[in-house]
Amino acid sequence: MVCHGGVNRTSTAYLASYVLSLLGNSVAGVALPLIVLQTTGSALAAGTVAIASALPAAVAGLFMGVVIDRINRRTASVLTELISAASIAALPLLDSAVGLSLSWFVLSAVVGSFGDVPGLTAREAMLPGIARIGGTPVERLLGLREALGAVVLLVGPGAAGTMIAFFDGSEILWITAALSATSALITLLIPRTAGAVGKQPTGVRLRDGFRTLARSPFLLTTTALSGALVLVLGGFQGLVLPVHFTLIDRPELLGLVLSALAVGLLAGGGLYAVAGTRGPRRAWFVAGLLTTVAGFAAMSSLAAPWLVLASAAVVGLGNGLFGSLLGVLMVERIPDAMRGRIMSTQNTIVTLAPALGFGVTALVIDSAGAREAAIGLAAVWVVAGVFALWAPPLRNLTATEARNQAAPVELPVSA
């Protein structure tokens, strides 16, 4: 049954599986470091596990793009969710059998990395098929996904905190694994045709993803813009704001900033889901981009807690608007046969960008201070925003232009 313009069973299954997967990751992101800390008694061990999962996740995401372009995307999504579930479920089993140590946590993180970024890529690559079969406009589907992601961002940390209060570590791990496993089961409700891979004109090779990305001014520009956004946002969330709130003896405000950001994302994504098909796309893009520029500029002042919280909400609002639009443009401009490799390359860049932001921000804070680092991060986004507003590939965002700018599929075979 197709409900044109609405959200039918296929779209509902897609969104439900996305929410459960994201919720599992959100709970794990809060609970797992605490479980590692409780088990090992070492903060360094918790940091080691985080590092052990970051780099393999990026590498796995890059190489799994080839697999995602070889097999049905629904199958790839199910497999990656099951890998995530198994990597978490193995921990309580090992705990009861031989006891947990740092090495087991690291091994679990490495195995789980083959489910994180690849799973995100498989789900994104499947979205055009979901929209086609479900009869839901891509704008509405992406707006709803952004809004639901914001809801998870709001409730996920709170849910993890509640679990920590009422359950022991093993029980939390089982619940987290169950969320990923349930996501996989719900994904099976999506018709297999939604994940069908287009015909491959030159075979499936990893280097084709790099080549296609490098040859498309639009993809290069939007990938750079996304990387700059997560770099700046990561620098604020990961270092500037924690240091600032610690210095003013208000560390509890850090969680409220995350909530304010989520509220803004919910509003922006919801607005785009309702009205994204109306009005010129360029207007949506400019409005969203300028809103984030204003939000980061105000946040960089670190003038008062209420201003920082309000700025976070403004950043979330703008990101919800133009982030949803960028998702639509990606769907239109990336050939289906190349979607796994190109999106995996983009997701790898976006995964690694926050680490660069952390490193540079830490150096600035250490040498100059948190306020100077905040101003520097805001300046990076202002430059990125000005570049995006004037960049030729982002001037014409119509669907007709999408067909003209679509990344080439026919690639020369090198000797």
Residue 146 is assigned to a structural domain of this protein:
yes
- CA nearest neighbour of 196 among 75, 62, 347, 67: 75
Domains in the chain: how many in total? 2
Residues of the domain holding 126 = 1-197
Residue 208 is assigned to a structural domain of this protein:
yes
Q: Are residues 178 and 264 in the same domain?
A: no
- CA nearest neighbour of 62 among 109, 118, 2, 139: 118
Residue 414 is assigned to a structural domain of this protein:
no
Q: For residues 69 and 122, is the Cβ–Cβ distance under 8 A?
A: no
Query: In the listed set 146, 175, 197, which residue is the last one of a domain according to the structure?
Result: 197
Q: Are residues 120 and 84 in the same domain?
A: yes
Q: Residue type at 106?
A: V
Q: Are residues 253 and 389 in the same domain?
A: yes
Query: In the listed set 182, 197, 212, which residue is the last one of a domain according to the structure?
Result: 197
How far apart, in Å, are the Cα atoms of 41 and each of 34, 95, 212?
10, 16, 47
Q: Are residues 216 and 181 in the same domain?
A: no
User: What's 49's domain CATH number?
Assistant: 1.20.1250.20
Could you give the CA distance from residue 350 to residue 57 in angstroms, rounded to a whole number? 11
Q: What is the pTM of this model?
A: 0.76
Q: Are residues 332 and 185 in the same domain?
A: no
Structure tokens that stand for 290 in this block = 């300028």
Residue 79 is assigned to a structural domain of this protein:
yes
Query: In the listed set 157, 182, 197, which residue is the last one of a domain according to the structure?
Result: 197
Residue 415 is assigned to a structural domain of this protein:
no
User: What is the full per-residue pLDDT of the chain (415 aa) written as tens digits?
Assistant: 444 445 588 999 999 999 999 998 888 877 787 788 778 776 667 667 766 666 777 777 777 788 888 889 999 999 999 999 999 999 999 988 888 888 898 888 888 888 877 888 888 889 888 988 878 888 888 888 888 988 887 788 778 777 877 888 888 899 999 999 999 999 999 999 988 886 665 555 667 777 777 788 898 899 899 889 988 988 888 778 888 888 888 877 877 887 888 899 889 988 998 888 888 889 999 999 999 999 999 999 998 889 999 999 999 999 989 888 888 888 888 887 788 888 888 888 887 787 777 778 888 888 888 899 999 999 999 999 999 999 998 888 876 554 445 444 443 333 2
- CA nearest neighbour of 388 among 169, 233, 276, 220: 220
Residue 131 is assigned to a structural domain of this protein:
yes
How far apart, in Å, are the Cα atoms of 340 and each of 80, 97, 228, 410?
14, 38, 22, 16
The full DSSP string for 337-360 is GGHHHHHHHHHHHHHHHHHHHHHH
